[in-house]
Chain A
Amino acid sequence: MRVAASSVLVLACLFSFISALSIGAINVDFYDVWLALWSYDNTQLTQKIIIELRLPRTVLAFLAGAGLATAGLILQTVTRNPLADPYLFGISSGASFGVVLLITLFGMQSGLAMSGAALLGSICAMSLLLLIAYHKGTAQIENMLLAGVALSFLFNAFTSLLLYWSDPQAITAIIFWSLGSFSRADWAWIWLPSAVVILGILSVICFRRHLNALLLGDESAVTLGVNVHKLRLGMLLVSSLLTAVLVAACGGVGFVGLMIPHIVRFFISQARVLGMLATALSGGLFMLWVDVLARSLIDNQELPIGVITAAIGSVFFLSLLMFKKRSTSI
């Protein structure tokens, strides 16, 4: 069962990567994709498209999905709330605020500057959250959730206020940014999200026993020798860092962090290493296909990522509700 599940996931990843590289405005067949990957010839246009445009984009989509799903898993575990997700804690609102501030104050719209502003904004939101939650030494989970929601509203209010005062062109740029896109992917900086996502996944696997111990209550975790406060703080930092970097790189991509851990948990006990890896990989796979859809649904135009994930996400939640009702009524 475990071997089967892992091999299915790995094969699905390989297949999806190659498909994602071949599908697009210009369809490239699998053989050319293979050639481009293994014997890259930069004088050929199709190979150049694959290596310079599609590959970094696909890698970024996969990283974003894997990272946000891992961040969601962490937050749901440390708060023991299956509805927690990276966006609940105001981190993405902070990022949007940073971007809006940059555009309205300095009129800058270059991709790199926007990413930097988003990163600063989300780090600011995250520090505020931790400061509020930990100002008495120990954080209550409920307080932390409430503080996150409040901060999120606060940043949204500032963002709306700035938007109200800015010109239509800036508003378009901001809306486009906040709906998310992988089109800014570039080999020059993709190492940063890669490093952060790998760090996130490693830390979850490394501390999996301690994280699992939290699921049955703080006191129970203490009796197993877990330093609950340090673990929670550290894991919050990891998930905030993941969210901050990924939101900065691809804009607002919601629902992955909430949805993927939920689905995986249906099938695999979350205490397993397999469950954690499966969460990351399925998040990556999901995002990769969302990006393929975004690029290919409408000819010559790109759909925003946020629209697709939100549409799929809401349908998913409705069906989850129906399924739950049915399974309890039996």
Chain B
Amino acid sequence: MVAAQVSINNLSLVIHNKQILSDISFSVLPGQFIGLIGPNGAGKSSLLRCLYRYQTPQAGNIQIDEKEISQFSRQTYAKKVAAVLQEIPSQFNLAVFDVVAMGLTPHKRLFSSVSLRDRQAIQEALKKVGLAHKYQQPYESLSGGEKQRVMIARAIVQRPSLLLMDEPTSHLDVKYQIEIMALAKSLGITVIASFHDLNLASALCDSIIVLNEGSLVANGAPKNVVTTNMLLEVFGVKAEVILQTSPHGASVPYIRYQYQLTVMDLNDQASRGRECE
């Protein structure tokens, strides 16, 4: 029996008197690739924020390597956990190399400079994401997909054992969505990533966690979680789920949405939404 790398117990988060997350518990084994899915506002980003310690939960706890995460120093924690977030526009001239070098921050003392070994690590990370030739270019001149690959290179340099990704591909073309996620999977470390594209999540993840209105509603292998019922209840869409066999022999659910949503349905949803309030 392998000990869980991440375990979350009865986590609750309240911001401005609004319950964002309620009573969430799950655990992640080392090396697993976990997908977080759920409609907008379900709490995916907030859950990840609690994990990278940007927000402090009011109740419950998160343990990494069997230690409460608030007990780690900032630096130690940053050596364990890296994050690739949604893209933030920057109006400053930063070279690609320098953005990747930011990953060294938790490993460096205040006055120390970038050593030859660091330099090699940065070059290797850039090679891994296929951007070695662009290391001198301004970060802002890159395309959206390239920028996120640079952020992954930064995470590689940070040498974490857990990578968190908050919808890193939400504005990207299909090709880059697949590319970025495959790249993250190829690192061989534990990954918790939130997804917009449910088919992509089903194809890549070892396990999928479904959040709805701040609660965990399902957790398990894609084929058990991604079902017609769940799609209707959580996402409010009618869809057909077909089980396909992946090249690796696993059975992967594939969603075919039904696009005959009528105005009647929208009205229906609106009235249901009012009832909930």
Contacts and interface: CB of A to CB of B under 8 A. Distances in A.
B78 A207 contact: no
Given A80-B90, A270-B92, A210 B111 contact: no
B108 A209 contact: yes
A82 interface: yes
Contacts of A207: 110
Interface in A194-231: 205-207, 209-210, 212-213, 215-220, 222-227
A184 interface: no
Contacts of B81: 223
A212 B102 contact: yes
B78 A225 contact: yes
Given A206-B110, A210-B105, A269-B98, A82 B88 contact: no
Contact of B52 (A219, A268, A270): A219
A101 to B, nearest CB: 38
Interface residues of A, number: 31
A217 B88 contact: yes
Interface in B72-131: 74-75, 77-79, 81-83, 85, 88, 90-95, 97-99, 101-106, 108, 110-111, 113
A48 interface: no
B104 A209 contact: yes
A151 to B, nearest CB: 25
Contacts of A224: 78, 102-103, 105-106, 158
Interface in B117-170: 138, 158, 164
Given A219-B49, A271-B101, A225 B90 contact: no
A226 B97 CA distance: 20
A80 B99 CA distance: 15
A222 B52 contact: yes
Contact of B82 (A215, A223, A226): A223
Give the contact-size bracket for chain B.
Answer: 35 or more
Given A216-B88, A219-B85, A269-B94, A209 B102 contact: yes
Contacts of A206: 110-111
Contacts of A38: none
A163 B119 CA distance: 59
* Among A212, A219, A265, residue most surrounded by chain B Cβ atoms (within 10 Å): A219
B102 A213 contact: yes
A220 B105 CA distance: 12
A266 interface: yes
Contacts of B102: 209, 212-213, 216, 224, 271
B53 interface: yes
B54 interface: yes
Contact of B85 (A76, A217, A268, A272): A217
A225 B95 CA distance: 21
The 8 A-B residue pairs with the shortest CB-CB distance, nearest first, are: A225-B78, A271-B98, A269-B95, A223-B83, A217-B88, A225-B106, A225-B74, A224-B105
Interface of A: 76-77, 80, 82, 205-207, 209-210, 212-213, 215-220, 222-227, 265-266, 268-273
Interface of B: 49, 52-54, 74-75, 77-79, 81-83, 85, 88, 90-95, 97-99, 101-106, 108, 110-111, 113, 138, 158, 164
26 contacts: A76-B92, A80-B90, A82-B91, A206-B111, A209-B102, A209-B104, A209-B105, A210-B105, A212-B94, A215-B94, A223-B54, A223-B78, A223-B81, A223-B82, A224-B102, A224-B106, A225-B74, A225-B75, A225-B78, A225-B105, A225-B106, A265-B92, A269-B94, A269-B97, A270-B93, A271-B102
Given A205-B111, A212-B94, A265-B92, 19 more contacts: A80-B90, A80-B91, A209-B104, A209-B105, A213-B102, A216-B88, A216-B99, A216-B102, A220-B83, A223-B54, A224-B78, A224-B103, A225-B74, A225-B75, A225-B78, A226-B74, A269-B94, A269-B97, A270-B92
